[in-house]
Amino acid sequence: MKSMDEARERTQGLYNICVTPFSEDGTLKKAALEANLERVIGLGFDGILIGGTYGEFPAMSTEERATLFRAAVEVVGDRVPLLLCSAAADPRAAVELTQLAADLGGLPMVTAPYVSEITDAQIVSYFKEIAKVSRTGIMIYNAPGIGITLSAPLIEELSDIEGMIALKQGDLSPTVVDRLVGRLKGKLKMLAASDLAMLGPIMTGFDGLSSTNSCALPEIIHGTYKAVLEGDVGRATSLNQLWYPVREACRAYGQPQTTKAMMALRGWDGGVVRAPLRSLSRAQHESLAETLRQVAANTDERLLKLAA
């Protein structure tokens, strides 16, 4: 993407939140990254998110994140739009990564700096400054998981800053979603940040969805989203209910470690997680495997086929 206008036009639809496949020694497994990206592109996903919270960016150095950006762009090119998470607690790192993300043709995705007792006014000032370095604009990343939840009024204020073109919204409570759609639809492109509660925001009027579990269940997630777009509410709700046991496991065991474990059960290489995260215990892994077998037994083999 070369401009804000192009980024605004293309930021919509179903995005895969790509896990970062680390080897046991902590290095990036580039072949696994390529295979995982090609899989979701081949299935028809509209875009890809690289290096987000479930991509474990807080456990990576600025240099490693830059390497990940370049590796993803090398594989994807301009076939689908890329969201490149450039968030950082240190504004210097955020500026460096934001400029790189834009220069590579991606849309930088930026959180508020996750430092204690930051004020709304300071957050607004921060976004005004960081917007200046991106030729493709900025996606506001409202990520409660970092310890700061942007309120709906603050998001509305941020939307007035030149260069703010999109929002990845992690607070998906119904009243907040309703307000954001009602007040910002057409002004910001809005993506629901989680597939754990995907149907409500999409049916309310969000422009798209970002999904971590699509790394492991891409056919089911894609099928659900496609059914929503086609107006087949019955099929969408049936597919969404089908993988509810997986969502329970994700909430119990955490992500992305649960997602990476499911990828392994399907014969795909998601790598391992980095500290401070830990891979699933043997008991958790066995329970997850049984959950996935039960889900597979209740669906068409085309939607979920486990590794032998």
Cα–Cα distance between 251 and 167 in angstroms, integer?
Answer: 24
CA distances from 87 to 83, 217, 242, 280 (A): 12, 27, 34, 27
Cα–Cα distance between 281 and 287 in angstroms, integer?
Answer: 10
- Chain mean position to CA 95: 20
Q: Which of 29, 126, 168, 189 is catalytic?
A: 168
Residue 168 known to be catalytic: yes
Which residue's structure tokens are 């603050």? 154
Q: Which of 15, 54, 126, 141 is catalytic?
A: 141
Cα–Cα distance between 175 and 277 in angstroms, integer?
Answer: 32
Per-residue tokens: 259: 């997602």
Cα–Cα distance between 224 and 3 in angstroms, integer?
Answer: 31
Query: Contact 106/69 with Cβ under 8 angstroms?
Result: yes
Bridge partners of residue 17, in order along the sequence: 49
Cα–Cα distance between 155 and 287 in angstroms, integer?
Answer: 40
Cα–Cα distance between 144 and 160 in angstroms, integer?
Answer: 22
Name the DSSP class of 22: B
- Active site members: 141, 168
